[in-house]
Structure 1
Amino acid sequence: MYELIYADPPWSYRDKNKNGNRGAECKYPTMTLDDLKALPIASIAAENSILAMWWVPPQPQEALDLVAAWDFKLINMNGFTWHKQTALGKSFFGLGHWTRGNAECCLLAKRGKPQRACASVPQFLSAQIGRHSQKPAEVRDRLVQLAGDVPRIELFAREGAIGWDHWGNELPQTSVNLATLSQPPAQKLRQLTILEVA
């Protein structure tokens, strides 16, 4: 059972703007809210555990609904706020909804009564953008500092990290592919694998 679950769900946006091949659906397979809710996350979460989940600004209610479906309760809607920077260290000027997007937020939620290992983990970080939707590796480090060296998994992972179990369709062949989501929950859980990083 995992005491720390880190997720970057492939949110399906209401808009379908494919101009310039920019939207999320042009970059990777997205999932509906119902499909995300159906994932057996509650069954892999420890009785006392933390969920850290990236959410998209136009869908705050959907993020809260997903937290509840996975059997967690919100602690902080903006547990981490990532200020996006360019390679030159300038503020990134993205698209966005109403305002131009240059920040993303990761909420924190809990199940049971998890203990905070460190009370000095900062919320705000500035980091360079990578490929589409790639999150700063520093967030993983801050999560371990916050929760301690506990059993942990990254869902929808795009790369491996030492000390973490990983699940996602952009990982090597040894990892679970999103095609397995149509299988019964017990089968899905058996296919959660550890990606070894040299």
Structure 2
Amino acid sequence: MKKYSVIYADPPWSFSNKKTGGSMKSGAAAQYDTMSIEQLKKLDVPAICADDCVLVMWYVGSQPQEAIDLCKAWGFTIKNMNGFIWVKLTEMFLQFFGMGFWTRAGAECAIIATRGKPKRASAAVRQVRLALIGRHSEKPAEFRADIEKLCGDGNKLEMFARQSAAGWDVFGNQVENSITINTKE
């Protein structure tokens, strides 16, 4: 079985509110299939990890404990809760005015976590990036390039991918999977 030294994940987090916003079609569940934290934990991610592996995982600001619990369930130790911060911009290059539970969201964060003792390939990768928004929950491709620079060579997997990218295996229900991830019972 192929083992990965880099896993880039954008889990389809479920929310208690299925639809939000004036159109009632802006919630995650109105855009794509979501998974509960228990379903996500059952994915046998440890089986596909190299001994030294980096996880970069986007999480929802209103669910930090779930993100921490998922990292732990997959066998990772968090190194930085805000390893990457995406400041969202509109097509007019204005700060995005999104939904939110306490404040209006204009940014998303990704955790950096590790298994074993992976080495950083570059110290020049910045934490904060301003980038245009795309489709609902779609992350800018620049982050994938930042991860490649940060982590260097090795087998790379994008979980819950929306499209294939050169040099990356993909897993998700919006792309043709290049691997299968089993579930634990």
Question: Among the aligned pairs, what percent are the same residue?
Answer: 48
1:25 aligns with 2:29: yes
Aligned-partner Cα distance in 2 for 1:92–1:30:
23
Tell me the CA shift for residue 149 of structure 1: 1.6
Structure-to-structure mapping, 1:1-198, within 5 angstroms = 1-19=3-21, 20=23, 21-172=25-176, 175=177
Q: Kindly tell me: are residues 94 and 176 of structure 1, through their superposed partners in 2, closer, same or farther at Cα, counting changes over 3 Å? A: same
Q: Which has the higher contact order (CA 8 A, sep 6+)?
A: 2
Give the aligned CA root-mean-square deviation in angstroms. 1.6
Q: Normalising by structure 1, report the TM-score.
A: 0.87
Give the conservation status (yes or no) of the 8 Å contact 1:51–1:109.
Answer: yes
Aligned-partner Cα distance in 1 for 2:151–2:77:
16
Aligned-partner Cα distance in 1 for 2:171–2:66:
22
Tell me the CA shift for residue 176 of structure 1: 6.5
Tell me the CA shift for residue 18 of structure 1: 4.1
Q: Kindly tell me: are residues 164 and 136 of structure 1, through their superposed partners in 2, closer, same or farther at Cα, counting changes over 3 Å? A: same
Question: 3-state DSSP class of the match of 1:107?
Answer: strand
1:127-185 deviation line (CA, Å, top 9, x unaligned): 0000000001000000010000211000000011100000111114xx279xx87x666
Q: Normalising by structure 2, report the TM-score.
A: 0.93
Letter of the aligned partner of 1:156 in structure 2?
Answer: F
Alignment size in residue pairs:
180
Letter of the aligned partner of 1:13 in structure 2?
Answer: F
Specify the alignment match of 1:194 in structure 2. Answer: none
Aligned-partner Cα distance in 1 for 2:178–2:172:
6
Tell me the CA shift for residue 76 of structure 1: 0.1
Letter of the aligned partner of 2:166 in structure 1?
Answer: I
Aligned-partner Cα distance in 1 for 2:70–2:116:
17
Letter of the aligned partner of 1:102 in structure 2?
Answer: G
Aligned-partner Cα distance in 2 for 1:4–1:22:
31
Structure 1: where are the runs of 5+ without partners? Answer: 186-198
Question: 3-state DSSP class of the match of 1:22?
Answer: coil
1:70-122 deviation line (CA, Å, top 9, x unaligned): 00000000000000000111111111111000000011000010000001110
Q: Kindly tell me: are residues 184 and 17 of structure 1, through their superposed partners in 2, closer, same or farther at Cα, counting changes over 3 Å? A: closer
Question: 3-state DSSP class of the match of 1:10?
Answer: coil
